[in-house]
Amino acid sequence: MPASRFVEQLNHQIGHEFAAHQQYIACAVYYDALTMPQMAGFFYDQAREERDHAMMMVKYLIDQDAPVVIPGVAAPVVQFDDLVAPVALALDQEKRVTAQINELTRIAREENDFASDQFMQWFIKEQVEEVATMHDLLAVVKRSKDIEAIEDYVQREQSGAGSDASAPGVAGG
């Protein structure tokens, strides 16, 4: 069984992942209402990823015979001032999640919880990709503010990502 400190913090992280899921849905809805189908689709996909991350964590705890607690989440931000604001918020969120993932890894290592440390390695790699993606998207949205150019970029650069065979399993999946 994983270290109790790790289990407690991973249960908190499940809440953070579900909160990110909700926030990305709110971003997607914002872009959907502006008739920006590429940006909306991108954020709907991001929301599914965050939900899957939470469910990977749930499955890990179940597989380790550890308690699972599904925490409630705060309401997401739903009003944005401009096209840039949702992406800026998403980048800040990904940076925060990166710090949380790093903290979980630190706890696993301090507790000599080698299985949990190994489990977290995929999330570390994932966060590098997520931060880079949001950083690039923010640069494009800030630079152009032209809806067609933004939509073209997302269609060209962010579609067709495919699944990662090295990803942990998803509970219920």
- Written as six digits, the tokens of 173 are 């999946």
What is the tally of structural domains in the chain? Answer: 1
The pTM for the full model equals: 0.91
Tell me what pLDDT residue 165 has.
72
pLDDT band at 168 (very low <50, low <70, confident <90, very high): confident
pLDDT band at 162 (very low <50, low <70, confident <90, very high): low
Structural domain includes residue 135: yes
Interatomic CA distance for residues 159 and 147, integer angstroms:
17
| Among 21, 35, 27, residue whose Cα is nearest residue 138 | 27
Tell me what pLDDT residue 161 has.
58
Provide the domain limits for residue 89: 4-70+78-156
- Written as six digits, the tokens of 149 are 């150019």
How far is Cα of residue 104 from the mean position of the Cα atoms in its chain? 15
Interatomic CA distance for residues 2 and 73, integer angstroms:
24
Structural domain includes residue 172: no
Structural domain includes residue 65: yes
- How do residues 63-103 score in pLDDT, each as one tens digit? 999 999 999 999 999 999 999 999 999 999 999 999 999 99
- Written as six digits, the tokens of 80 are 């944005």
Structural domain includes residue 121: yes
Tell me what pLDDT residue 72 has.
94
Structural domain includes residue 25: yes
Structural domain includes residue 151: yes
- How do residues 145-158 score in pLDDT, each as one tens digit? 789 989 999 998 87
Helices 114-144, 147-157: inter-axial angle, 10-degree rounding:
150
Interatomic CA distance for residues 16 and 97, integer angstroms:
8
- Please report the DSSP string for 76-101 in residue order: PP---SSSHHHHHHHHHHHHHHHHHH
Tell me what pLDDT residue 146 has.
84
Structural domain includes residue 85: yes
* CATH at residue 132: 1.20.1260.10
- Written as six digits, the tokens of 135 are 């950083």
Tell me what pLDDT residue 115 has.
97
Structural domain includes residue 162: no
Tell me what pLDDT residue 170 has.
76
Tell me what pLDDT residue 157 has.
84
- How do residues 3-54 score in pLDDT, each as one tens digit? 999 999 999 999 999 999 999 999 999 999 999 999 999 999 999 999 999 9
167: pLDDT strictly greater than 90: no
User: CB-based contacts of 152: which residues, under 8 Å, 6+ apart?
Assistant: 38
Q: In whole angstroms, how far apart are CA 164 and each of 3, 144, 148, 160? A: 27, 31, 30, 12
Tell me what pLDDT residue 28 has.
98
Core vs surface per residue 163-173: b (16+ CB within 10 A) or e: eeeeebeebee
